Amino acid sequence: MTIGLVSFCSAAQGAKKPETLAKHVILVGSDGFGAYAVPKADIPNLRKMMKEGAYSLKARSVLPSSSAVNWASMLMGSGPELHGYTEWGSKTPEIPSRVVGETGIYPTIFSVLEKQRPEAAKGVSYTWEGIGHLFEEPWVDLDYNGYSEEKTMEKALEFIVEEKPALTFIHLNEPDSIGHEMGHDTPEYYQTVEMIDGLVGRLLDTLAKNGMMENSIIIFTSDHGGVGKGHGGGTLLEMEIPWIIFGKNVPAKGKLQSAIIIYDTAPTIAYILGLKIPDVWRGRPITEAFEGK
């Protein structure tokens, strides 16, 4: 394992350090929400974000199309070849991470923010306990495992309103569990997708009521889709995920043409917050979403 200081350099990404595009970034991840579900579901809040912001239904997970490996990739700006998390329930890397930071894991967007803006508040509220292994706990102001979608969102909203954080990651474990129990692309699956949309609506309403929407950007995405009662394979039903971005400085572009991989999410957040991107990351900011702002 290579242990040392992580270099924060954006040259390898082809993007210079940008201005700060928003004060607050909220990343909402819905486990098992396949892109195929978007055209079929009754999701008015997500459709509002797609219409008034930008989106792709062709974004892809890394392989295997399973949870921990993809949540790690989303937060760590790289694929499993570098961060080393390779399985559904990885708690530690199966492959030695190419580099690690001071807390002993591959650098996430939270450590990037901590190193460059240590005064900025940041937090994680999550339903699946496995998320707790995939970020630097000492460097977040909220580390909350709610175990249910309602409690997870409630705690996140409380944190956002009270602390006005620069970055909040909200992980919701549905519709993954209903996909395993009842099957993906089933009536029960879509009912759960619509419940997730309702929680997104609560987030939008809370930001608006507290005067934060005009300074916030929300990214909504997933770790993978599914087929039958499972996932992990290389079909597009399992790999294609929604990637929706909405808020300050995001014009109503609609469908994005960029080829988005899940590990492009962390660099996009860094770009929004005006942070230099670590040269060990392999993702790139999706700057197309901000063109014409």
Domains and CATH numbers, the chain: 11-290 (3.40.720.10)
Given this model, what pLDDT does residue 292 score?
A: 86
pLDDT score, position 235: 98
How far, in Å, CA of 259 to CA of 1, rounded? 31
Provide the Cα torsion 272, 39, 150, 124; round to 10°: -20
Tokens 């909040």: give the residue: 168
The pTM of this model reads: 0.94
* Sign of the torsion formed by the C-alpha atoms of 204, 206, 210 and 212: negative
Strand, helix or coil at 197?
helix
Residue 6 is predicted with a pLDDT of 54
pLDDT in tens, the chain (293 residues): 334 445 444 433 444 545 899 999 999 999 999 999 999 999 999 999 999 999 999 999 999 999 999 999 999 999 999 999 999 999 999 999 999 999 999 999 999 999 999 999 999 999 999 999 999 999 999 999 999 999 999 999 999 999 999 999 999 999 999 999 999 999 999 999 999 999 999 999 999 999 999 999 999 999 999 999 999 999 999 999 999 999 999 999 999 999 999 999 999 999 999 999 999 999 999 999 999 87
| pLDDT for res 11 | 37
- Taking the C-alpha atoms of residue 269 and residue 21, their distance in angstroms, rounded to an integer, is 10
Count CB atoms within 10 A of the CB of residue 180. Answer: 15
For residue 91, the model assigns a pLDDT of 97
